[in-house]
Amino acid sequence: MAAAIFCWHTGQLKRAGQLVQKLMDVNQNNMQALTIKGWIYLSAPKEELQNKSLQYFDHVIEIGEQNGRKYLEAMLGRAKFFEKNKKYEDALEMLSEVCVCFANFHPSVIEKAKCHIFSGEWDQAVEAVTSLMCVDKQNTEALRIYIFFVLAREGDDELFNEKMDLLVTAIRQIESKNTQLIYNIARLFARYSCRKEFVL
């Protein structure tokens, strides 16, 4: 299973699919294998393959309901499928359920905030990340979304500086070796800086 997940994360979708199929040949109802197969299809470049992912996520969720269990990865996969297809209302409904069932899983709140942004509901997005920052003050994704809102929608330079200091501190303490994250954050704010020196 670990090898299949590694192949999927590194973009080796064909190899990941082969490894998952071997697991499913042994046990057709392996929930983890079914879920990973759904994610592999969702990551595929062809739309018809992406559409097949939903049947795997739905199957796992349905079996979970019959057994009184919730499968986080399948629920997130279902939400991501809806998000990719711009069905934000369906994605938000699924993510709301994830937030209730897995209250300590903070990435679901971030995904919910992003869906709100995609559908133009900035107030709900800010509300989601603000509630998360009350629990996890150093959540870099929540801070990034909030700071972006302040820069792009509010224009409050003082609040921007205050929250940016918190974000820089959080990155130094938690994600200091995550160069991809640092690059993405720098690129985002440089793009929306309007050449303001204090932002750059």
10 found inside a domain: yes
35 found inside a domain: yes
Which of 56, 72, 67 shows the shortest CA–CA distance to 21?
56
Domain count, the chain: 1
Model confidence pLDDT, tens digit, residues 52-110: 999 999 999 999 988 889 999 999 999 999 999 999 999 999 999 999 999 999 999 99
Model confidence pLDDT, tens digit, residues 26-46: 667 778 888 888 888 898 888
Angstrom distances, CA of residue 11 to CA of 14, 17, 128? 9, 11, 31
15 found inside a domain: yes
Identify the residue with better confidence: 132 or 49: 132
Q: What is the pLDDT of residue 200?
A: 47
2 found inside a domain: yes
Phi, psi of 91 (to 5 degrees): -65, -45
